[in-house]
Amino acid sequence: MVKYIIALVFMLSAAIVASGILISARLRNTYKQECFSSLMYFETFYFTFGFYAIWGQVILVSLLSQLITGELMSRTSTFLTLLGTPFIFFTWLMLQRFVMELSGRDAHSKFIATYLLSFALLVTGIYFVFPVFSVVDPFTIMKYGFMVINFAYTVTAVIILLTGQVKKAMLRRTVLRQIAAGLLINMLLQNVILIFYQGNVYIAMVFILTYFIGGAFIPVYIRYKADLSRMITGSGSGYSLDELCRNYNISARERDIIHEICQGLSNQQIADKLFISLQTVKDHTSRIYDKTNCNSRTQLITMVKK
C-alpha cells in the first residue's frame, strides 16, 4: 500500500513540475519580461532540488534501506542532500531576483554579493550553532537547516513584494500582496510539517506534495488569476493583428474573431456577424486565450496595436 502511495505522489510531483516549468516558459515567451526568465530558472532549480534531495531520500529509505547498512545509509543520505545544495542556493537566488524585478527594483551585482554573503552566513551558522544544542545527526541538521533557510528567504521575498515601488511594479499591488501571502503560507506549511516529521512516510508524502504544489503556485497564479495588462502595456510589446497571428499560430477564423473582439463586439454579435454558433465563438475564444496566454478580452485587446 505504501509503495502505491509513493508511486502516486511521485507521478503527481512530475506532473506539477511539468506544468510549472511549462507555464513559466510560456509567460517568458509571451511577455518578454526579464522577471519571467528569473521565474523559470527559479522553477527549474526548485524542482531539481526537490527530486535530488527530497525524492532521493524517499527512494533511498523505501527501496534501499534493507539492502545497505545503517552507516552507509546515513552517508548516502548526507551525500544526496549535499548534491542538491547548489540547486537550493540558486533556487533562493532566483526567487529573490524574481520578486525584486516583479516589484520594480533593479537586481544588480550588489544584490548578488549581498545574497552570497547572507547565504554563507546562514549555512555557517546552521552547522556551527546546531551542535551547541546537541543536534548532531546530519539529517536533523539538514532538516532544520532547510527550515531556517526557507523561513529567511521567504520572509525576505515577502518584504520585497510588499514594499516594492508600485508605479514601477510589473503587476498591481493586490496581486503582489496575494503572491506574498501564497509564499508565506507555503513556507509555514512546509516548516510545520517538517517539525512533526519523525520518519513517518505519510507525513513525508504530505510534505512532498506541499513542496511541489508550492513551487508551482507563482506561475499558475500569475497565468490564471493575475491581470497582466499593465505588463503588456509597459513593455511596449503590442502586435499588429497580423503579427499576433503569426507569432501565436492563430488560425484564419480565430483572426476574424480577434478582429471583432477588438471592435468591441460581444460573443453573440460576433456569432451573428460571422454566421456561426455562439458556442463556436466561445470555443475559438478559449483557444485564442490559451495560445496568447490571456485571461480576458482586455488583455487580448491590449496585445493588439491600435
- In this prediction, residue 4 carries a pLDDT of 85
List the pLDDT tens digit at each of the 306 positions of the chain: 777 888 899 999 999 999 999 999 988 887 778 889 999 999 999 999 988 888 877 776 666 556 566 566 566 666 666 677 788 889 999 999 999 888 888 777 678 888 888 888 887 887 777 666 665 666 777 788 889 999 999 999 999 998 866 556 778 888 899 999 999 999 999 999 999 888 788 898 999 999 999 999 999 999 888 877 666 654 445 678 888 888 788 999 999 999 999 888 999 999 999 999 999 999 999 998 888 877 788 878 877 876
- In this prediction, residue 236 carries a pLDDT of 47
The 3 state secondary structure assigned to 105-173 is: CCCCHHHHHHHHHHHHHHHHHHHHHHHHHCCCCHHHHHHHHHHHHHHHHHHHHHHHHHCCCCCCCCCCH
Global confidence as pTM: 0.77
For 12-31, the pLDDT digits (tens) are: 999 999 999 999 998 888 77
Listed residue (204, 167, 197, 169) closest to 13, CA to CA: 204
- In this prediction, residue 24 carries a pLDDT of 93
- In this prediction, residue 279 carries a pLDDT of 93
CA 194 to chain CA centroid, nearest Å: 21
For 214-234, the pLDDT digits (tens) are: 999 999 999 888 877 666 654
For 236-263, the pLDDT digits (tens) are: 456 788 888 887 889 999 999 999 998 8
Cell of 228: 497582466
- In this prediction, residue 221 carries a pLDDT of 93
- Farthest-apart Cα atoms in the chain, separation: 78
- In this prediction, residue 63 carries a pLDDT of 63
- In this prediction, residue 20 carries a pLDDT of 93
- Sequence length of the chain is 306
- In this prediction, residue 230 carries a pLDDT of 62
